[in-house]
Amino acid sequence: MLTLTPAAAGKVKELLVEEGRADIALRVAVQPGGCSGLRYAMYLDDQVTDKDASEEQHGVRIVIDKLSVPYLSQATVDFIDSLEQTGFTIDNPAAQGGCACGHSFH
């Protein structure tokens, strides 16, 4: 399972409060696309099935579809808020290469 940093968990909790629902999980997935062949997807999801791996970290429920688990097992999701960048980032040492935008990999 991937690792969620405390900063990322804090931001997800803020988003969950805005949604006003306790049944939503953070879904992280790998999908075909992007300039390097695969891209990351991350969103709040209330559709969790038995085909998903699920874990709670820092009070946030994380779900990953079983096809994406091998791609994300060493990844870390963080939230950066600086003058240069604001948003979620995924650091994935298992990725063999990526594009300049940082949103896709192979």
Strand partners, 53: 64
For residue 75, tell me if it sits in a domain.
Answer: yes
For residue 102, tell me if it sits in a domain.
Answer: no
Pick 106 or 30 by higher pLDDT.
Answer: 30
Using pLDDT thresholds of 50, 70 and 90, give the confidence band for residue 4. Answer: very high
What is the residue range of 91's domain?
Answer: 3-97
Per-residue pLDDT tens for 58-100? 999 999 999 999 999 999 999 999 988 899 989 888 877 655 5
Instruction: Output b/e per residue, 6-25; b: 16+ Cβ within 10 A.
Output: eebbebbeeebeeeeeeebb
Average pLDDT, the chain: 88
Domains held by the chain: number: 1
Give residues with Cβ within 8 angstroms of 15, minimum separation 6.
44
For residue 20, tell me if it sits in a domain.
Answer: yes
Reduced 3-state DSSP string for 23-86: CCEEEEEEEECCCCCEEEEEEEECCCCCCEEEEEECCEEEEEECCCHHHHCCCEEEEEECCCCE
Pick 27 or 21 by higher pLDDT.
Answer: 27
For residue 83, tell me if it sits in a domain.
Answer: yes
The predicted model scores a pTM of 0.85
For residue 105, tell me if it sits in a domain.
Answer: no
Domain of 16: which CATH number? Answer: 2.60.300.12
Residue 106 is predicted with a pLDDT of 46
| Alpha carbon of residue 80 to chain centroid | 14
Residue 66 is predicted with a pLDDT of 94
